[in-house]
Structure 1
Amino acid sequence: MSFAIYHNFVINTSCKEVFHAISQPNHLDKWWTLKSSGTPKLGAVYNLNFTDKYDWYSIVSKFDTNTSIHFKMTKADADWNATTFGFDLETRNNQTLVRFSHVNWPYQNDHFKHSSFSWALLLKGLKDYVEEGIVVPFEKRS
């Protein structure tokens, strides 16, 4: 048995703008990572750095320009290593419906619950960044 986190929300802009914010390292660093690297294409390796202790890696496991990107974790902590997280985008009434998922969690433990809460906060940060250009300093992101 595995567990999953799901969040659906709307961002008031195009799928293209949202896709850039979730796939381009210079944008990821504005709402999620401290510093990241990678190229948005199938099979590409991304470095997702949060601190020296949390210097993680993933591979792009699903990719469709301006529509979908999913990352399979390859080097992270024990709970995250088996997981894949991703974004599926859909245009609705000149807005973007974001369907976020983070699947294959091995346990529904405290880390899973904390990550679910943290994703909600971070995804609100993504929305604020794309819609309003708001960048929350890394130290204040949860």
Structure 2
Amino acid sequence: MVSIELVNYIKAPASLIYQVLTTEEGLAKIWTKKLIVKPEVGFINEFDFNEAEITKMKIIELQENSRIYWECVDSDKEWIGTRVSFDLSERNNQTAVILKHSDWRAVTEYYQWCNYNWSMFLQRLKTQCESLVQFGS
């Protein structure tokens, strides 16, 4: 099993980043506008990327302002059974966001494409959160 592991540093409080990553309003600004999201353990978030499958992520764990952990229960066949976590740690007026997409069965072209897209996701998260801090949320 392989993982995608990325980090980005965001000049925003962990509480703001947590809110963006756990709400429809927040995720719609950085991932897809077609979604059903509820910040509740056991809930299955749905993300529609205009592909054959709707990506469904079951919320396994939520630790307010520090951790979000999902398991993919439906999506592209390479995603099913994989897990995505976001670990947040705040220090020196910024928050480190560690994204880990684990339990991939193989390094494929799709895995590599997703690695790139998760990097873009973290960049959009950074831009969104830092603009909210700069201009007030």
Does TM, normalized by the shorter one, top 0.5?
yes
Q: CA deviation at 1:39?
A: 1.3
- Secondary structure (helix, strand or coil) at the match of 1:78 reads coil
Q: CA deviation at 1:52?
A: 5.2
CA-atom RMSD in angstroms: 1.2
**After the TM superposition, which segments of 4 or more aligned residues of structure 1 sit over 4 Å from their partners?**
none
TM-score, with structure 1 as normaliser:
0.88
Which shifted more, 35-44 or 57-66? 35-44
- 1:9 and 2:8 aligned: yes
2:23 is aligned to 24
Which amino acid in 2 is paired with 1:12? K
Which amino acid in 1 is paired with 2:87? D
Alpha-carbon contact 1:34-1:51 (below 8 Å) kept: no
2:96 is aligned to 97
In structure 2, runs of 5+ residues without a counterpart are: 133-137
2:48 is aligned to 49
State the alpha-carbon separation in 2 of the partners of residues 52 and 34 from structure 1. 14
State the alpha-carbon separation in 1 of the partners of residues 117 and 45 from structure 2. 20
State the alpha-carbon separation in 1 of the partners of residues 16 and 123 from structure 2. 16
2:73 is aligned to 74
Which amino acid in 2 is paired with 1:105? W
Q: CA deviation at 1:22?
A: 0.8
State the alpha-carbon separation in 1 of the partners of residues 77 and 51 from structure 2. 17
State the alpha-carbon separation in 2 of the partners of residues 106 and 25 from structure 1. 30
TM-score, with structure 2 as normaliser:
0.91
1:13-70 CA-to-partner distances (Å, cap 9, x unmatched) read: 1000000111111110111123211211211111111115241211101211111111
- Secondary structure (helix, strand or coil) at the match of 1:41 reads coil
